[in-house]
Structure 1
Amino acid sequence: MAFHPNLDPELRAAIEQTPPPVFDLAALSPGELPGLRAQMNALLAAAPPAETDVVIENRQVPGPDGEPDIRVRIYRPAESGEARPGLYWIHGGGMIIGAPEIDDATMVGFVERLGIVVVSVDYRLAPEHQHPAPVEDCYAGLAWTAKAAGELGIDVARLAVGGASAGGGLAAATVLLARDRGGPDLAFQLLVCPMLDDRNITPSSQEFTDAVVWDRSANLFGWTALLGDRIGAGDVSPYAAPARATDLAGLPPAFIDVGELEVFRDEDMDYALRLARAGVSTEFHLYPGAFHGFDMMVPDTELSRRAQAARLSALKRAFRL
């Protein structure tokens, strides 16, 4: 593929040396998704475990009313402790793939650097489970986390929600649900390149028909998987596509970041601006020359280190560390 002229030189050198895998989602049938997921899970299983003292535990917790239990993956410091800050995390994957394990390294890093407890939810995926199943799973896991805060060693007054990509969109939607359902109360929302708008009408969503990761066709595929033929319709819920929300007042302080060279750029910028206008304290970062998921794919570049440090700094302030 031809690279965008604004692509950061250090990122460009890295992906020229090790090109990322390419998945043509537009040519993928829903019946082929289980195979793609199995391939990803096999790669995760083959990866050597991280050398860490962080305690990692999987649990089954109550799902939404009338639905099966859901799995959460809990990350805790090795040293026992009480009243630690808590981060409820939602993984990415375009609504169609992914599992908590894809973020193991990031979650372990948060625990090691901040001394917090992380709970990551394994929500149901589209298209087998369309909206509202994924966000309801996320909300149910959050409700359990708040209820079990004492057992987990979490200070419920310092509980944040975060996520990346589709997980960032689900995090924003879960925060909206928590406000509208009267809890749990949340201290912060960390939205990393969030997937927010099913309409795909912003300039950036139309510009990046070719991208290093997650181009326009992939985005249309993901939203169609979640919403079916309702994608772009006038009655799509803000709990599916948070950019649809007309009232953003009363939400917890927010951190949003996004790369310059990705479809989510404009919807994320707009959401950050609307949060600020609604009286929500908001920090926003636009990373020049960066593509979607750049810091996860190429973590050892100067731009990636800046992004990682900014998120850590934001969490420290939110948790009063």
Structure 2
Amino acid sequence: MHETASLRLVDPELLSVIDPYPQVGLPITDVREVRNELARMLAASPRPSDARVERAEVWIPGRKGASDVRALIYSPVNRSGPLPAVLHIHGGGYVVGAPEFAEAGNLSLAADLGCLVCSVDYRLAPEHPHPAPLDDCYTALIWLHDEAAVLALDRTRVAVKGESAGGGIAAALALAARDAGGPPLRFQHLTAPMIDDRTCVEGDPHPLVGEFVWNRERNRQGWEALLGHPPGLDGVSHLAAAARARELSSLPAAYIAVGALDLFLEENLDYGRRLTRAGVPVEMHVYPGAFHGFGAAVQARVAQAAARDSREALRRALLG
């Protein structure tokens, strides 16, 4: 492991996952190869299961002539009344990923909270730049709302949840639903959300973040894939980069969690601050010594604390 400026700040229990952490998704020229490698990894791994949860694959009809949207549904076997729902959006820098990679977490979430989880297999950049990923997730949100009676859901208790790029789409989805008068959301649960393309070109970058797992070059390439042009230009929609939104009032309550060494630290802190100024309730967590994706170190105490905080925030939001 080579020495870096922030290595001394890393939680010692996280050091073991830095070097072997999958270097996925970038450079963009290799994205298809990376996706194929991830598919091979997934196929070679045993699929998680939980006897408390039913799992199903659905194809949600596309809107306005768009292609259908694939999603995985997890629902508790023992139901009691209309269920709360979580619309989950996976991460992957906007260029890789699939709902199967979050399956273990979504199974336990459905079982522990007694909720339905819908994890969206949205289209990926660069083949499908903005607004395609957001459109797919919005289609899934409308479907959950329209099919609430069939799915035995409580329309008033729906949260959107995402990690990294998925967190960026989740934040944008909350904005899109507000702007369009769409289905109401109870909560937005954002883990290290990728929400500001201007981080790629900021004039005074934080010197101690973004050295592990997700760095500035990967971030730049991910944003360029999503936007179809270099990041940081004028005129980028707030529905592509949520931090661009000028008006943040009337949004659902938010949970934002990020590591202190994560490249997204300052954009996440600033978004949380602006939400509070707009009257949006915010629960904000910054985990010391933690970099992007640190939850992969499941035995580390900081990762376990983050997992507990994450689950309890959803429990309070959906179950009261």
Task: Point out the more displaced range, 130-139 or 1-10.
Answer: 1-10
**Aligned-pair distance for 1:230?**
4.9
CA contact (8 A) 2:62 2:69 kept: yes
Give unmatched runs, 5+ long, in structure 2. Answer: none
Match of 1:37 among 35, 38, 41: 35
Code of the aligned partner of 2:263: V
Hey, what's the Cα distance between the residues in 1 that align with 2:22 and 2:157? 38
**Superposition pairs of residues 1-321 of structure 1, within 5 angstroms:** 1-3=2-4, 4-12=7-15, 14-15=16-17, 19-23=20-24, 25-26=26-27, 28-29=28-29, 32-53=30-51, 54-200=53-199, 201-202=201-202, 207=207, 211-295=211-295, 297-321=296-320
Hey, what's the Cα distance between the residues in 2 that align with 1:112 and 1:204? 45
Q: Aligned in 2, Cα 1:70/1:272: closer, same or farther, shift over 3 Å? A: same
**Aligned-pair distance for 1:175?**
0.6
Hey, what's the Cα distance between the residues in 2 that align with 1:170 and 1:105? 21
Deviations along 1:260-319, one digit per CA (max 9) or x if unpaired, are 111100000000000001000000000010010101x11121101100100111111101
Hey, what's the Cα distance between the residues in 1 that align with 2:58 and 2:149? 16
Q: Aligned in 2, Cα 1:50/1:24: closer, same or farther, shift over 3 Å? A: closer
**Aligned-pair distance for 1:228?**
2.0
- The two structures, once aligned, show a CA RMSD in angstroms of 1.8
Deviations along 1:235-281, one digit per CA (max 9) or x if unpaired, are 00000000000000000000000011111000000000000010000
Deviations along 1:83-118, one digit per CA (max 9) or x if unpaired, are 111100100000000011110011111112111110
Q: Secondary structure at the match of 1:219?
A: helix
CA contact (8 A) 2:49 2:107 kept: no
TM-score (norm 2): 0.94
Q: Secondary structure at the match of 2:227?
A: helix
**Aligned-pair distance for 1:9?**
1.1
Hey, what's the Cα distance between the residues in 2 that align with 1:24 and 1:178? 29
Q: Secondary structure at the match of 2:161?
A: strand
CA contact (8 A) 1:230 1:236 kept: no
Hey, what's the Cα distance between the residues in 2 that align with 1:64 and 1:263? 35
CA contact (8 A) 2:209 2:260 kept: no
Code of the aligned partner of 1:99: A
Task: Point out the more displaced range, 198-207 or 154-163.
Answer: 198-207
Hey, what's the Cα distance between the residues in 2 that align with 1:194 and 1:216? 15
**Aligned-pair distance for 1:205?**
5.5
Task: Point out the more displaced range, 90-99 or 58-67.
Answer: 58-67
CA contact (8 A) 2:86 2:117 kept: yes
TM-score (norm 1): 0.93
Hey, what's the Cα distance between the residues in 1 that align with 2:10 and 2:202? 20
Hey, what's the Cα distance between the residues in 1 that align with 2:75 and 2:312? 20
Hey, what's the Cα distance between the residues in 2 that align with 1:116 and 1:205? 40
Hey, what's the Cα distance between the residues in 1 that align with 2:204 and 2:88? 26
| Structure 1 stretches of at least 4 aligned residues deviating more than 2 Å after TM superposition | 21-26, 201-212
Query: Identity percentage over the alignment?
Result: 43
Q: Aligned in 2, Cα 1:7/1:153: closer, same or farther, shift over 3 Å? A: same
Task: Point out the more displaced range, 268-277 or 203-212.
Answer: 203-212
Hey, what's the Cα distance between the residues in 1 that align with 2:109 and 2:25? 33
Between the two proteins, the alignment pairs up a number of residues equal to: 315
Q: Aligned in 2, Cα 1:258/1:51: closer, same or farther, shift over 3 Å? A: same
Code of the aligned partner of 1:187: R
